[in-house]
Structure 1
């Protein structure tokens, strides 16, 4: 049987003609009508009016940190339950990371913990330069609460919405309400440009500055004049054409992935010790990845197989799965970094498993996944 992948790219059929038109036009560089059209379409999809398309989501994060004025020694606070790219550009810039635990009801940054930490930092006279909440596995953080707290202390919010395109919180698209928001179009995302990202903001000056830095910080002059250093971070016209062809399929893909999650709940929810990533009342996830818990968030119970036994059984059957992110405060690279809490995220790691979640996953393929998982309980 063919393998079942975790989150393979899906094509609409419009990509090839779009790329052909772009190639024929002669526009290949990260400039011209196609990247501009993709950015406009992203602005419509996210409700955030100013958008810069970038080579990767990590590049967008790097630009976000740069335009917010991050300097060596500044503190950056983020959720501990996230991919390393959330914090790695800041660390490379010399910032000091601090990792905050997640809330059990959402698995995203705990606003109550954030409030206590901000109050403590204010008393100590060392507030973070930026707070970076994460929309985990396509589920929005409680951005309203987080942004309100950060506004109280004058700390900007850079929301890592890399996996959350099409998700909402309190009826608004992911990232809306942050000073800056970042999106990813990596090959495994719900909309892909094969590799790509975007930085978005309500503030046109921030995106204008990011656009300047993304094109090697070239000053207006007949020669190459540079008063600071920049990067080659703009998304090419060819890749932008792919994204522009994919964006109209976003609502259908969200619906498909939510249906995949619902079928897992129906097919596995009766098994002992099995749970699923919760969805808080204030959010609607795009379910980029469907995440199940085996043995509960804290270890095996009721005689159920543990996460690793299930993962290995799936792998033996040619089915890709992946543990949830290992919390950053437990990663060797950050052994000396400060953390606030961490028990919730640490409990989720040994139990959480991301199951195949592609929007093109067929019911028959999903039945294979369910059968293998159920076989672990016999």
Structure 2
């Protein structure tokens, strides 16, 4: 990889150097954000977003319950109180109608959230326009957790565009990876400049080490940036490949009773980072866990969809609204092998095992 070799030969391996600026520019070009900060992880990007929004102990941060723990973990570690909202069945992302009702009720109580986090799921953009409209009425900022949304679009623009801040992930399992790392993006240069300051230990301008606030070691290394730079260039090819994998699963399995695929609303175009299915045991003849075990016995890895955060022990006492949709998705949902490098023979083997597991 020429970019990686160039970094190693140059000696720029720390969180500094031209490779990082080039990577940030590439992410900006791919997502449409004018200001991008490369970070050590997607979780670090979310933590910085909460820092620059001045989340304080006792503040409420609202998010869909159907997501990975990293969506809210940094805010909780800052002392915020999470409140979980259900997702919409047509998208598996935050339900805007429920959000509107909950914001109205919160305004009447005099306790609006400090931030609402919209989350892209399995390569599908959330309905950000409706979420922004609901939050703008009450002056509540929106953060987009787009860790799973790279390459997805919403009404022709990239996932996350329009949010106050958007966080992306380049972890090893993502559609584009640097082997790790993340990015924080925004339209507001002031917010990004503050995040950049915090990501570099919040060092004050001085010839010596001086700090008015504490920061973090959240910068991405030049080595990871070089790897990511080559990967971002292939983003659209990866999206085409993942969507083709999804379409092949549909062609091979759609006739089975009791098996349904993650829907794609007409307002968005998913990257299909992961292909997820719902198993109705009454019609399919066996449940999601039995199907997972059948795949595992054949040497094929699959995983249940996200266990809703309100069901996690750490959030047992957290307030929530709704939750039946997310709970149903967890009971029946399974993520199938979806890697860009899958061969047709490998995918055929997955399809064959699933068809054999159907007892309808």
TM tier relative to shorter chain: over 0.9
Q: Is the contact made by 2:39 and 2:181 (CA closer than 8 Å) also made in structure 1? A: yes
Structure 1 residues 237-259: Cα deviation after superposition (integer angstroms, max 9, x where no partner): 00000000111111010000001
2:216 counterpart SS class: coil
Q: 1:7 maps to what in 2?
A: none
Q: 1:338 maps to what in 2?
A: 319
1:329 counterpart SS class: helix
Q: Is the contact made by 1:272 and 1:302 (CA closer than 8 Å) also made in structure 2? A: yes
Q: Is the contact made by 1:35 and 1:237 (CA closer than 8 Å) also made in structure 2? A: yes
2:28 to 38, 43, 46: 43
Aligned length: 359
1:275 to 260, 266, 269: 260
Kindly report which structure 2 residues correspond to 1:1-378, keeping only aligned pairs within 5 A, or say none.
16-295=1-280, 300-302=281-283, 304-378=285-359
- CA shift at 1:303, angstroms? 5.1
2:144 counterpart SS class: strand
- CA shift at 1:17, angstroms? 2.4
Q: Is the contact made by 2:243 and 2:272 (CA closer than 8 Å) also made in structure 1? A: yes
- CA shift at 1:120, angstroms? 0.4
Q: Is the contact made by 1:82 and 1:327 (CA closer than 8 Å) also made in structure 2? A: yes
- CA shift at 1:362, angstroms? 1.2
CA separation in 2, counterparts of 1:103 and 1:39?
A: 33
Cα distance change of structure 1 residues 180 and 303 upon mapping to structure 2, 3 Å threshold: closer
Q: TM-score, normalised by structure 1?
A: 0.94
1:194 counterpart SS class: coil
CA separation in 1, counterparts of 2:45 and 2:285?
A: 42
2:233 counterpart SS class: helix
Runs in 1 of length 4+ with deviation above 3 angstroms? none
Q: Is the contact made by 1:294 and 1:304 (CA closer than 8 Å) also made in structure 2? A: no
CA separation in 2, counterparts of 1:267 and 1:291?
A: 14
2:282 counterpart SS class: coil
RMSD: 0.7
